Amino acid sequence: MTSTSVKPNLLPPGLVSNLQDVLSKRAGGEEDKTAESTDPPSTSEAADTVEDPNDSSKPIVLVTNGDGIESPGLTYLVEALVHQGLYNVHVCAPQSDKSLSGHSVTLRETVSVSSAEIKGATAYEVSGTPVDCVSLALSGALFSWSKPLLVISGINRGSSCGHHMLYSGVVAGAREALISGIPSLSISLNWRKDESQENDFKDAVAVCLPLINAAIRDIEKGIFPKSCFLDIEIPSSPLSNKGFKLTKQSMWRSTPSWQAISSRYPAGHFMNSQQSLGIQLAQLGRDASAAGAARRVTTQKKNVEIESTGAAGKSDFERVKKYFRLEFVDKEKEDTDEDLDFRALESGFVSVTPLSLSPHLESETQTAASNWISSALEEQ
């Protein structure tokens, strides 16, 4: 990997100097050694080193994500953590894609939980959101332990920079952990359609694993920042990154675009005659049930005329229905501040942004997180 110096900014001068030292050391070849030593193993290699996933002597790490439990980002990350043999790895992740669920929870509905097979880890898939997964895992109702040492949410497909953090399920998973007082990281890969490949997730794990190990080490020492979590954004070509860079959350977002469509079925969707007939029969059944219910209600009242045909209220054929589909369209990024998350990511850096529960990161929190990040990077 190549390295460049960090442009001076409003961050503490000591931090800027430390980051510059880190990047210059990487230019000397240390980074290649790190990447090589942390390259996640194949599934077969990991199987050879699997130990008891319930070893209480090891620190507990909880992994969740937004893309679903079968996504490659989570699979490669858990394989790497298990392969190291240093942690008691637990997984509690959505059973399907919940990447844009934000900080939503499932209320007044039953959430189903099923055990999942992941080598060397204790794993469950949940029918809810990433926040549901973290909240349930930390509640004591699912796992026997009281709390993990660290919660890792990721690795997500697609960046979560700027205002996308508000929509992001993977960021919300880490935020929920912080709400419960547990240190956490959210990790995303800047996936590019028609360019990125599944193996890029394996490379992304190799890039972020040293920072994960440093976080766990310093949590045990009590020197990891307590009032924020870290959002890690990895560039599209992970192994070609220019190094880690401490960044600030930007105000950037894609433009939401609601497209009107002619039916509830997307373009190219084929409905055969049996499906069409089934829908028509189902509709007739609903109308008949509604009409029958109306008759039963009205027969209990005196002097009320009972309609011989038609459903109660408007039928579905009388209602006006419209269908829309939401898409996000990238707009030109006008902000040129190189220390913002999306600018650093586009420039090839691994963006590391401290995030708190407050809309504005307190200066003390910023300083504490900055000092820890620079110290951790110096040792990689």
Q: Flag whether 295 is in a domain.
A: no
Q: Degrees (nearest 5) of the Cα angle 239, 243, 244?
A: 120
Give domain status of residue 268, yes or no: no
In a domain, 64, yes or no: yes
367 in a structural domain: no
Segment 143-176, tens digit of pLDDT: 988 899 999 999 999 998 878 788 899 999 999 9
Q: Indicate whether 280 pLDDT > 60.
A: no
Q: Within a domain: residue 3? A: no
* Model confidence at 221: pLDDT above 80: yes
Comparing CA positions, the residue from 258, 263, 257 lying closest to residue 323 is: 263
* 53 backbone dihedrals φ, ψ, rounded to 5°: -70, -10
Region of 183 (left: φ > 0; alpha: ψ -120 to 50; beta: rest) is beta
In-domain check, residue 8: no
For the chain, what is the domain count? Answer: 1
Report the DSSP beta bridge partners of residue 248: 340
- High-pLDDT (> 90) share of the chain, %: 47
- What pLDDT does 313 receive? 58
Note the pTM of the prediction, 2 decimals. Answer: 0.70
- pLDDT at residue 30, rounded to an integer: 42
One DSSP character per residue, 124-136 reads EEESS-HHHHHHH
What confidence score (pLDDT) does residue 264 get? 57
Instruction: Provide CB contacts within 8 A for 63, sequence distance 6+.
Output: 74, 77, 78, 81, 89, 90, 91, 92, 93, 121, 151, 152, 153
Q: Flag whether pLDDT at 274 surpasses 70.
A: no
C-alpha 164: how far from chain center:
11
Distance of CA 156 to the CA centre of its chain: 5
- Residue spans of beta strands (DSSP E) within the chain: 60-64, 88-94, 113-116, 122-126, 150-157, 184-189, 229-234, 244-246, 255-261, 323-329, 350-355
pLDDT: is 361 or 218 the higher one? 218
Q: What is the pLDDT of residue 335?
A: 59
Instruction: Determine the pLDDT at residue 18.
Output: 44
> In this structure, what CATH number is given to the domain that contains residue 353?
3.40.1210.10
Provide the domain limits for residue 348.
52-254+337-357
Tokens 């430390």 sit on residue: 18
- Residue 30 identity (one-letter amino acid): E
Q: Is residue 379 part of a domain?
A: no
The per-residue pLDDT for 309 is 44
Distance CA 237, CA 204 (A): 8
